[in-house]
Structures are given as C-alpha cells and as structure tokens.
Structure 1
Amino acid sequence: MRLLVIGGCGHVGSFVVPVLARAHEIRVLDLTEPDNPVSGVDYHTGDLRDVDLVASLASGMDSLVFMAKGPTRDWGSPETAYQHFDVSVSGLYLAVKGAVRAGVRHVIYTSSMSVYRYPDAEIFTFPDESVPPDATDFYGLAKRLGEEVCRTATAEHGIDAVCLRLCFPMPDEEWPRNERPRQRAISTSGRDTASAIDAALHRRGHGFDVYAISGDGTGKMMSLAKARRELGWAPQDVT
C-alpha cells in the first residue's frame, strides 16, 4: 500500500518505518529530518497542521498513519501539556481534514493504553476496549481526545479510523527493558508494533475501531482478544 506517515521521524517512527517500508511505499511528513533515513522512503519536512501540505502529500495514498506526539522534555510542564494537546487534537483533526480532501479513506492513529488511569499497584489488569477511557493526566487525556477526533472523523467523512493503544513500544534491540514490573509486562517490541500497524491497514469497512496492542501475550495485565479476533494480530515477542 501507499502510506503517508505523519511523525515518521519520531521515537516510534524511527523503528517502525524501516519495517513498514519493506512491504509498503512510504511518504513521511515530520517537523524534523530523519536521523537515519530509510532507503526508498520519501521524506518531507513541514507542519502537520498545514492542511494544504497534508492534502498534497496524501494525494494517491491508501492510508494516513498518524504517529506524531508532543515532546518528552519538561514532562508535566504547561508548555509540554499544551504541545501534546496541540498535536493529538487540533493537529490530528487538521491532518485528517487534509488527507480526506485528497481522497484518503483510512486512518491509523497510534494511541496509548495511557487513555486509562494507572493504579498505584505494580501489577493490575487493564480494562478491555469495551470500557470507556478515564485518564485525567495530560498525556492520557490528549490521547483520549485524539481517539475522539478519529471517532468524529468516521461520522463526518464516512472513513475508517483504527486507533491502536500501544504499550511502551521500543526498538527490538532494547526490548524488553528491565524497568518496573508493569512496564516490562506490557512493553511491545518494534517488530510487533510494526506488524500491528500492518494488520490495521487491512481493517476496512468498519468505521471506528480501537485495539489494545502489547507484548503481554499471556494476558497477565490486559486482554488482546479483540486484536486477535478482528485484526488477526498477536505479539510474537511475548513478555
């Protein structure tokens, strides 16, 4: 397929785009240039809120893959919170507008399981996709609102929007990090993150969908049953 990947030079994009590029034609839009450009990938530098630019780059594309996010520096500061909302809400809204203008009918949004509140306990069970998100921190709330942008786009434009709730995605060579037990239990390798996005590319004709994506293949902390059933996806690298 032909994919416009917004945010393809960021943390997730840096290890997902090389995998996706093996099977798909990739065009990337990012504020910054890639540190390690992938051969054959068409890179463009620009603002995702530029509707005309997005529409131009989305022309002829089969899907928009939106993985842009705010910065990690000064985490919790008002400025950082503002930038996360700006990307996940207004930025996503405008990028989808541009893509739809160009005729794109399918969107993948890399959301996060942070849309749910994290209890203080180290080991707990996340709700499944049938439970409405309840996060109140700025990051989780921004991701929640991003999902609502996608839901609204399906109603307004009649497109398909697939939200993947990622869990600590990281490069294969770093997976799994020896961190707190709950982070290690749900962390996701780069190849599994890429394969989830690839599976979501084929989920069409169903409007709005959300899926938990994690390396927790044994279901210790969350259920991946919906992704297995509807996407045909399950992690190969299991914590």
Structure 2
Amino acid sequence: MTQITILGGTGYAGSHIAREAVSRGLSVRAFSRSVPETPIEGVDYVTGDVQDAATLTAAVTGTDVVVVALSPRGGQEGKVAPLIARLAAEAEAANVRLGVVGGAGSLLVAPGGPRVVDTPDFPDAVKPEAFEMGEALEQLRTTPETLDWFYVSPAGGFGAWAEGEKTGTFRIGGDILLVDEEGKSEISGADFAQAIVDEVVTPAHSRTRFTVAY
C-alpha cells in the first residue's frame, strides 16, 4: 500500500488531497498544528511544528511520498520556501518522493511570459505569497538529480471561495496558465486533489511542474 504524508493536511488543499487519497486506498498521514474538528476517517493525524527539524525527519520516515500543502500566510510568511528547501534535502537522503502544492502566480500567461503574478490585475495582497512559492519552485529546479520531485500549480480560480464539485474531468498542462474558451482558469478542490493523487499513484512528472484546470 502506498504511504502518502501530507504537510498541511488540514488546510484547503491538504484536506482534499487526504480525502481523495483515503478513498483510493492509500495509507495517509497528515501533519498539522492541530487535529481538525471534523477529522477524515482513515487519516492518521500527527500534530507538530513543521518548522521543527525533528518533525521534518519524521515526515520522510516510513513513507513513499511527502506532499507539502502549506501556504506562506497566517504567520508563515517567508518560512515556507526555506522549509521546502530543508525538506527536499531530507527527502533526497531518505529516497522519498517530494510533491509541492504551489500557486498559479508563477505560471506564465503565454510562452515566454509574463508570469501571472507580474500582470497588472494580479492582487497586491497576495503577491508576496506568489513570489515565495515561485522561489520554492526555482529552488527545487536546482536540487540534485537524485531527488524525485513534482510541483503542482492549480488554476487561477482555486480555493475555499471557489469550492466547486468533483467532475473527474480536467486538463493537465505545464508552465502555461490553462484557460477555457471563455478565458476562465478554474479547478475545484476535489478535482485538483484527484490530479495530485493520480500523480502519486501513477507518476508521470519527475523534477518538473504541472498545472491542473478545466
């Protein structure tokens, strides 16, 4: 049975990933600062500070894949990219695959750019978060070839404010923002989670970023 460990397993993306993974028979362990009020049946919740070295070592122990679903907000500003760099070293040493849930800000709007975060309409309030997760991606690209990692950017419209439903139908892209015929870029939490668990179960992307959208 595949073992997946999720850092930030009680957040929006993390909880969706945990629920999808359990439904598909994976062994799921979720690290978070506290146990959720409504835990997902079948998930092994572990509380702890993910910034703690011992927690990172524990996260890569006895697992096949570690997925980071943390956002640099709520007191974590400036801390997530360095954490991912540290975790990458731990994962490489343990021969564990590493997945990172990023944002849409680092995607390109067209081949050659610009990035979504650099467009005029991108909200100033979330630029620091977008820049930090973009930095995390660039750090992963410089890691040793022996580290098997993947980085997933959701569509532009992704979050608790755009929950959506599970359709089981979506597109997979690379570094370019995917939009539909109306110019919208959207993905539900459940479908995004399905794409990530698909990647965990049947790896198709190694040492690269992919994106998910309708």
TM class, shorter-chain normalised?
0.7 to 0.9
Displacement after TM superposition at 1:195 (Å): 1.4
Displacement after TM superposition at 1:108 (Å): 1.1
Provide closer, same or farther for how the CA distance between residues 172 and 138 of structure 1 changes in structure 2, counting only shifts above 3 A: closer
SS at 1:135 equivalent: helix
Matched, 1:214 2:202: no
Q: 2:146 aligns with which of 155, 158, 176?
A: 158
Displacement after TM superposition at 1:133 (Å): 4.4
Measure the CA separation in 1 of the matches of 2:98 and 2:129.
21
SS at 2:184 equivalent: helix
Q: Which stretch of structure 1 is more off in the superposition, 62-71 or 90-99?
A: 90-99
Displacement after TM superposition at 1:39 (Å): 1.4
SS at 1:115 equivalent: coil
How do 1:178-217 and structure 2 match up within 5 A?
Answer: 185-201=184-200, 202-203=202-203, 207-215=206-214
Measure the CA separation in 2 of the matches of 1:162 and 1:47.
23
Matched, 1:109 2:86: no
Q: Which stretch of structure 1 is more off in the superposition, 162-171 or 27-36?
A: 162-171
Measure the CA separation in 2 of the matches of 1:12 and 1:195.
11
Find the counterpart in structure 2 of residue 60 from structure 1.
62
Find the counterpart in structure 2 of residue 123 from structure 1.
none
8 Å Cα contact 1:55-1:102 kept in structure 2 = no
Say what the alpha-carbon RMSD is for the aligned residues.
3.0
Q: Percent identity?
A: 20
8 Å Cα contact 1:16-1:194 kept in structure 2 = yes
Provide closer, same or farther for how the CA distance between residues 163 and 57 of structure 1 changes in structure 2, counting only shifts above 3 A: closer
Find the counterpart in structure 2 of residue 92 from structure 1.
84
Find the counterpart in structure 2 of residue 225 from structure 1.
none
Measure the CA separation in 2 of the matches of 1:56 and 1:131.
39
8 Å Cα contact 2:95-2:147 kept in structure 1 = no
Find the counterpart in structure 2 of residue 27 from structure 1.
29
TM-score, normalized by length of structure 1? 0.68
* Residue identity opposite 1:138 in structure 2: P
* Residue identity opposite 1:19 in structure 2: E
Higher relative contact order (CA 8 A, sep 6+): 2
Find the counterpart in structure 1 of residue 169 from structure 2.
none
Measure the CA separation in 2 of the matches of 1:53 and 1:65.
14
**Structure 2, unaligned runs of 5 or more:** 119-126, 166-178
Measure the CA separation in 2 of the matches of 1:15 and 1:134.
25
Number of residue pairs aligned between Structure 1 and Structure 2: 188
8 Å Cα contact 1:160-1:208 kept in structure 2 = yes
Find the counterpart in structure 2 of residue 169 from structure 1.
158
How do 1:64-79 and structure 2 match up within 5 A?
Answer: 64-71=66-73
Measure the CA separation in 2 of the matches of 1:11 and 1:148.
24
Matched, 1:127 2:105: no
**Structure 1, unaligned runs of 5 or more:** 73-79, 118-125, 216-239
